[in-house]
Each structure stands twice: as C-alpha cells, then as structure tokens.
Structure 1
Amino acid sequence: MQRPRFELPEVLVMKILSKLPVKSLTRFNCDDIPSVYGACHGLLCLLDSSTDKAAIWNPSTREFKILPPSSIQRPPYFSPFEETYLTLDNVSFDNAAFGFDSKNDDYKVIRFVDLTFVNSEEEHPHPHFMDQVELYSLRSNSWKEIPSPDYTPTYTTLGNNYVDGICYWKTETGAYLDFRGLILSFDMGNEKFSILPIPEFVGFFPEYYVDLLVFNGSLGAIVYPSQRIDTSFDLWVTSEGVWTKQFNIKSISGVVHPLGFGKNGDLFLRDTNDEVLLFDASTQELKKLEINII
C-alpha cells in the first residue's frame, strides 16, 4: 500500500535540509550547521551565525552562490562609564531574511549583526553590545549597512518570514508583566523598517506564545498558551492590516510547539518527545509521523 504524501511546512523542510549530507553544502565550508532561510522562488539562503559566511542555494539545479564577505566597518565603542574605547570581542549574525525586491528585480538578504565589546585590560570585563543591520543585493553582489530600527527581532518565525516583498519578525517592548508584543517589518523595495502592533486578541502577553508564519500566502499568527500541558491553538491571518481568525484547534495533550502548516492546511506539531505530529483541522484527527527533529 502506497504511503500518503504530505506537503511539509517550510520550517520542517529547513530543519531536514540543514541535516542532510548534501554534497553541495561542503562548498559552504561551515564549521557548524548553517541556518536555512527562505524559500523564495525555489531558492534558499544559508547563513552561519558565527561567521561571515552566507550563500544562496537552488536545490533543484544544485547551483550554489557564495556571497562575498561584508566590507562594512565595525565602529569602535567608547564607554563613558569606563572612559575608554572598548575592544571588539565577538561578531555574530542572526535573524536573517531572504526575499525578492520586485521593484528593482533583485534578490536581497538582510541580517542583524550583534557586536560585543569588552575592556581588554580587565580580567573579567563586562560586555557591551551594539547592533548593525546589513543588506545584501544580488544585483550588486555586495553588502551595505542600513539604519538599525529601534526594535530588534527577539524571536524567529515558523519557517519563512517573507511575504510579497516584506519580511517580518516578532519583537517586544516593556518589562516583565508589562510586555507588549510587536511585529517588525522590512520592505525589500524601499528598504525601510516599520512596526506593526500585535492585536489585542492575543491576550496577556507573557501568558501566550505568538509565532509568526506564512499561511496561504499571507502573514499569520498562531497563538497558544505558554503554561498548559494540554495546548489549544488559534490561527489569525492579516490582510491589509486587518486580522481575521481562521480557526481554533481545541486542546491537544502532549503538544509543546507548532511547526507550521502544509499546503493543505494541515498543522504540523512537535510533542514532548520531539516527534512530529500531523493535525487535520477538518477531521480533528492527530497522526504521528515517522519524523524526529532531533
């Protein structure tokens, strides 16, 4: 009997691809497993958070475009408290996004750069942090620095965070018991950041998780409680700034995290054993798949 085929969500595909012994990936020459971003027009972006290495990969044609290293200067940091310039101790790259700029017919990669500075003369120096944002253009084959937004991404999305020329990240403001969730967006065409509110439907922010994802070509938010063993999920989708609730999935025992939606609207979930489950919203059936994400 032939097994049924499942359209896996992008986040799950990316996890699988990042672990496969693909010969093309050896050209990336990365010491650690790279993060996989995409997909856009069948292309994926690979990024090593600990180095300056990045690449665009076409799995179907096996073409592999190594991106040039960044030539952007890392500014010195003057500490008014210590009254001295600090030494750059570490550079890391994270929260990237990959998408297409239809206005200029160009593929672009955006990434956030975390800079750590220390006083090299101290035995146990206190680190100081700065942020930069870099944007790569395939047309010019170069990186450039763009102004950093007031908010930086604090959470990754479920798979691709790019929809119709706009990249999205979840961010937040405030302190404990006064957290406020926000959505940071970046327009690939005009290269500008914007801030969108997470609507009030979420409820009290620390009591709920909100994961951004792409659902049927639109930006979606899947909302679920943070402190319950039996977890229910609400899916909301936005169109022109208006949020609409798509459906609610009642309590599912043992599920700890959503992984994303397949093309048929099936929800993939991770359980407490790091195994993948498939939930059919139309039949309310839960199936265990022979996939482990460890």
Structure 2
Amino acid sequence: MQRPRFELPEALVMKILSKLPVKSLTRFNCNTSSVYGACHGLLCLHDPLEDKAAIWNPSTREFKILPPSSIQRPPYFSPFEETYLSLDDVSFNNAAFGFDSKTDDYKVIRFVSLTFVNSEEEYSHPHFLHQVELSDSWKEIPSPDYTPTEPNGNIFVDGICYWKTVYGGYLDFRGLILSFDLGNEEFSILPIPEFVGSLPEYYVDLLVFNGSLGVIVYPSERIDTSFDLWVTSEGVWTKQFNFKSISGVVRLLGFGKNGDLFLRDTNDEVLLFDASTQELKELEINTYLDHFRFAISLHAYVESLVRINGIQKLKKHIIRQPARDA
C-alpha cells in the first residue's frame, strides 16, 4: 500500500531550514538555492526560475521571505502583428543585494525577463521585454539600455551594485560595467580598462579588491594564461598586479584575507593560493559544483548580529571574523 504524500507549507519549510546549521544546509543544495550576494553578514537567496527571494542571517538564523512581485504585466501590443500578445513566461535574473545608507535598510534588485506570444497561433514568434524590480515591496524602476550578461556575476561595493554587460556586434563584443546606485536608484555605465580587446579574445571578471571595484582580465586562450588585476577609483582604472600562469588554474574567483587568492582549476575544484608562500591548497568544496562550473562566485562574509530590517552601527554587531579558509 502506497503511503500518502504530505507537503508542508513553504513558510513552515523555511522556518525549519532557518534553524539548521550551515553545514547541514549545504547538503541540500539544488540548482535553484542560489546566493546572489552577501552584505554585513546577510545572504540574499534567490530562485531565478520562480518569484522567490529571501534574506538570511546564518549567525542569528533570522530568515525573511520577501513578498511575491505585485507589478502588473499586461498583454503586449505588437505593432508588427497588430494584435495583443499574451504573457507566456516570466523569469527573474541577475539579482543583486546591498545596503542603502539613505534608508538604513537592505535592498534586492533583479531583472525580469518577459516572454509574450500570440496565443491564437500554434507556432507564435516570441517577443521579449525586460523589467527591473526593487525590493522589498518590489516596485518597478526604469530599465537600462543594457542588461547583465551573467546570472550571478554581480558585486556590491559601497552602496552600488555592479554587473558585466556588453555592446557591439558579432565577434566584436565590447565589455561594459552596468552599475546601480541603491541610494538614488539610478543606473549608469562604466567602461572597463581601455586596453582590453573584444570579448572573444579576453575574459573579464568583476571582484572586490581592498574595498574597491576591480576586474580580473585574462585571455581566452588557455596556453600560459596570465591574469591582470585592475582597480578603479572615480572611473579611472589602475593596473595593480599581473599574475603569471598557475598550473591548472582556469579562473580567479577573488581575494581573501592577506591577499590570498581563491581559484578554480580544470577539475572544478576551488583552491586557495597563498601569495606569501606561492603554495596552492585544495579546499575540498567541489562536491556540489558539478552543474555550476560557470556560476561559481565568491562572497565576503562575516558573522554578525545585524537585523534584516535595518542596521545601526556595523562594528557593534560583528562577533568575529571568519577563519582564514572559511
């Protein structure tokens, strides 16, 4: 006899998960429990396939589920087909998370992709539109001319969220950096270092270096790959370092304490490179990355007692810095 299947309400599931240790939660990773940012000890969790987002403090186990979007998405009138198209699909992409000092609260911003089709035709040509939503009440803000190119390739620095984007044509795509100021709620564009060629020739990854926006630039060819680190100050790029090829390494993820580097190798393992000893250390955290090899990102995290609904003075809330290899 088959046992009946019981499904728990989502709110109850989230409440149960919020009481579990971090080590236990990592056992239950799935393709949609994605981390889209860390700020002041808080993590933003977001499901790009569904209208689900939450903010979590692992230290206090406080967990806040953001409300679903209430933004209207009426049928789209197509001048080409001279008829209204029905909404067929909605996806929530490129979320970013940060702190707005003007409102003394945390915000989540995400790009919404809308697909419209002619419901009266069996093989309708889809039409795509984009929206941008800002939490936590999810209000719509004007969409920029550019959209991010990577699902989780964003960083947050000093009140501003950054994403990679591109412009140009076939085999001559040029890189740009799209930014959003959480305080004035406006988008802007920042160029990458001028010497960088077209994107088929170079890869550009965003990161944080000493509290500033930086980029790692490296050629797409895997033979003797070297990495250049550039950091910007008020829109001016300055080259900081050049890292010669480290055997087996295909991508730099970012910097840890004391200038140590987190890397990804050809076996999809995450490594730590000690800059002082020039030694590589395997961190043994690759067991759940098999299907996310191109979506690995590094987020700075400190244990804290910051409340999700706001912050007073950050230094009073920090318990301690994480271990060196945390």
Q: TM-score range by the shorter chain?
A: 0.7 to 0.9
From 141, 149, 163, the counterpart of 1:154: 149
Deviation at 1:156, TM superposition (A): 4.8
Q: 1:216 touches 1:263 (CA, 8 Å); kept in 2?
A: no
Match of 1:5 in 2: none
Deviation at 1:21, TM superposition (A): 4.2
Q: 1:231 touches 1:251 (CA, 8 Å); kept in 2?
A: yes
1:205 is paired with a residue whose SS is coil
Q: Deviations over 1:35-55 (max 9, x none)?
A: 212211111111111111111
Q: Deviations over 1:76-123 (max 9, x none)?
A: 211222221111111000101111110121211100000011122222
Query: Which TM-score applies when normalising by structure 2?
Result: 0.76
Deviation at 1:265, TM superposition (A): 1.5
Q: 2:174 touches 2:197 (CA, 8 Å); kept in 1?
A: no
Q: 1:229 touches 1:254 (CA, 8 Å); kept in 2?
A: no
Percent of residue pairs identical: 82
User: Aligned runs of 1:42-61 on 2, under 5 Å?
Assistant: 42-61=41-60
Q: Distance in 2 between matches of 1:54 and 1:289?
A: 29
Deviation at 1:31, TM superposition (A): 8.3
Structure 1 gap segments, 5+ residues each: 1-18
User: Aligned runs of 1:62-73 on 2, under 5 Å?
Assistant: 62-73=61-72
Q: 1:229 touches 1:253 (CA, 8 Å); kept in 2?
A: no
1:85 is paired with a residue whose SS is strand
- CA distance 1:71–1:195, shift in 2 (3 Å): same
Q: Distance in 2 between matches of 1:60 and 1:261?
A: 23
- CA distance 1:31–1:116, shift in 2 (3 Å): farther
Structure 2 gap segments, 5+ residues each: 1-21, 291-326
Structure with the largest fraction of strand:
1
Query: Which TM-score applies when normalising by structure 1?
Result: 0.84
Match of 1:240 in 2: 234
User: Aligned runs of 1:142-221 on 2, under 5 Å?
Assistant: 142-156=137-151, 161-221=155-215
Match of 2:246 in 1: 252
Q: 1:168 touches 1:184 (CA, 8 Å); kept in 2?
A: yes
RMSD: 2.3
Q: Which amino acid aligns with 1:22?
A: L
Q: Which amino acid aligns with 2:278?
A: Q
Q: Distance in 2 between matches of 1:42 and 1:243?
A: 29
Q: Which amino acid aligns with 2:49?
A: S
Confirm whether residue 22 of structure 1 aligns to residue 50 of structure 2. Answer: no
Q: 1:43 touches 1:56 (CA, 8 Å); kept in 2?
A: yes
Match of 1:110 in 2: 109
Q: Which amino acid aligns with 1:167?
A: C
- CA distance 1:135–1:35, shift in 2 (3 Å): same
Q: 2:118 touches 2:124 (CA, 8 Å); kept in 1?
A: yes
Q: 2:35 touches 2:44 (CA, 8 Å); kept in 1?
A: yes
Deviation at 1:205, TM superposition (A): 3.0
- CA distance 1:148–1:47, shift in 2 (3 Å): same
Q: Distance in 2 between matches of 1:176 and 1:252?
A: 31
Count, aligned residues: 268
